[in-house]
Each structure stands twice: as C-alpha cells, then as structure tokens.
Amino acid sequence: MLAYPNIDPVFIHLGPLQIRWYGVAYVLGVVLGMRLAYPSLRRLGLSRDAIWDFPTYLILGIVLGGRLGYVCLYDLPYFVEYPAQIIAIWQGGMSYHGAALGTVAATGLFARRHRISMWPVLDLLAWGSTIGIGFGRLANFINGELFGRITAVPWGVVFPEGGPLPRHPSQLYEAFGEGVVLFIILSLLRRYGRLKEGQLFGGYLMGYGAIRFCVEFFREPDSQVGYLFGALTMGQLLCITMVLGGAVCFRLSRSLR
C-alpha cells in the first residue's frame, strides 16, 4: 500500500485569495497547449493577437461546458431543487465530457469570427488538450477526489475521503493514459498518419473514449449516479458515445480537401 502524499490542495495563499492546484493545472494545460499549437495556428493565417485570443474562448468553454455538463448529467435533481448552487463551481463538480463539448463550441465560434476552417483548429485542440488533461488528473489526485475502487493491489492508496481501505489511484491511471499515452499516439498520427483535416480530432475522440472507458472499471462511480444498466458508469456510457462520434468524424473527414 502506498501512502497518500497529503499535498495541500492550495498551491499558494495570497491573502484571502487561494490559488489551487486545480486552477494551476487548467492554466498550465491551456498555456502549454497553446505554445505547442502556436506555429500551426500561425500557418493558418492567424495573427499573434488572434491566436492569444483563443485561450479566452477555451477557458469559457471549459468552465461553462464542464459545469453545465456536471449539472445535467450527474446531479440534475439536486440542482433543480437548489438552482443557486449551479454557479458554486468553487465547491467542485465539473464534467470532462461537458467541457469537451464546450471547447468544441468555443472553437467553432473562434473559427467563425476569424473566418477560418474549424477542423484544423479542432485537430490542434485535440492534440494540445492531452497536456491539460494530464495535469488536471494529477490535480484530482492532489485533491483526493475521483479516486478508484477498493483494491488489494500493492499500490493501493488510502484517500482521506475514501474510507479506511486502499483504493486504486485511478487519477494517476487517467493522467498516464489520457495524458501521456494519448499525446504520444496523436503526435505519431500527426507526424506519420497523412491525415485529412478533422481526422486527428476524430482519432482523439476515439482514443480518449477507449482509454477512459477502460480506466472507469477501476474508478469509483459517482455516488449520486452509481451504476447504469447494472454494470456501466455514466462516464462509460458517455465514452461509448464519444468513440462512435469520433468514428463518424474520422469517416466524414475523408471527404474534406
């Protein structure tokens, strides 16, 4: 059994202001992803100012989409009863799948404003977002949230909010699979795959969906949702939809020039 590191979830205190590791993960993910995509965005004809306008769209898409996704998919009856809690994002409650839809919508608005094709931007977003996902899952581990199911494996961790028994550190599984492994796969596809516009984005949807579906078998399902259809989690059902959507996107992208 591994000892939980008990890292303070607050990265730094600035008087009454707290900067948490989760916020740092968001910022690092966006900034590093943008630096990675910057040369390709310039080749699309975007100015420097336009490119650094993109993070504003992304952050709004992540926050609004992630929160609304959580509200609608994971705890709708509670928020119907207490609607004022919808804006209380500082109490936690964000959905990756909602954030993904939010960033796609934000990318569409950005591309329309600057009169460029959305598809190459989505390809870059998919490639760069794996960095933010990896950092975000590490922040989940630091926060002691979204932990795994009870286990007897030697690397099980007793989380402060997870009871006395060791659990899978599923946040680290996701950081490695959805972050490191998926980044390597997409980088190889981007370099050697001879893909058309939109196909890298389709590959990302399929890759993330497949990896997350597998990791969900080790992750504790949300208590207010539990298991659906007797065995699957909400995350797994959403990942199935994601894989199917990615396959359709990959197929349709073949017709693009």
- pLDDT tens digits, one per residue of 205-214: 999 999 999 9
What's the mean per-residue pLDDT of the chain?
A: 91
pLDDT of residue 125: 94
Residue 255 has pLDDT above 80, yes or no: no
Residue 237 has pLDDT above 90, yes or no: yes
Which residues touch 14 (CB under 8 Å, ≥6 apart)?
none
pLDDT of residue 69: 93
pLDDT of residue 242: 96
Residue 167 has pLDDT above 60, yes or no: yes
pLDDT of residue 256: 57
pLDDT of residue 101: 95
CA angle 151, 154, 159 (to 5 degrees): 55
Residue 257 has pLDDT above 70, yes or no: no
pLDDT grade for 6, boundaries at 50, 70 and 90 = confident
CB 179 within 8 A of CB 137: yes
pLDDT of residue 14: 80
CB 89 within 8 A of CB 23: no
**Where in the chain are the domains?**
10-255
CA angle 100, 101, 102 (to 5 degrees): 90
Query: Rounded to whole angstroms, what are the CA distances from 228 to 47, 62, 65, 215?
Result: 47, 26, 23, 16
For residues 152-171, give the mean pLDDT. 94
Give residue-wise pLDDT tens across range 63-112: 999 999 999 989 899 899 989 899 887 777 889 999 999 999 999 999 99
Nearest 5°: phi and psi at 233? -95, 165
pLDDT of residue 208: 97
Residue 173 has pLDDT above 90, yes or no: yes
Give residue-wise pLDDT tens across range 105-161: 999 999 999 999 999 999 999 999 999 999 999 999 999 999 999 999 999 999 998
Q: Which of 176, 183, 198, 171 is nearest to 255 (CA)?
A: 198
For residues 30-37, give the mean pLDDT. 91
- Tokens for 36, please give them: 């990675």
Residue 224 has pLDDT above 90, yes or no: no
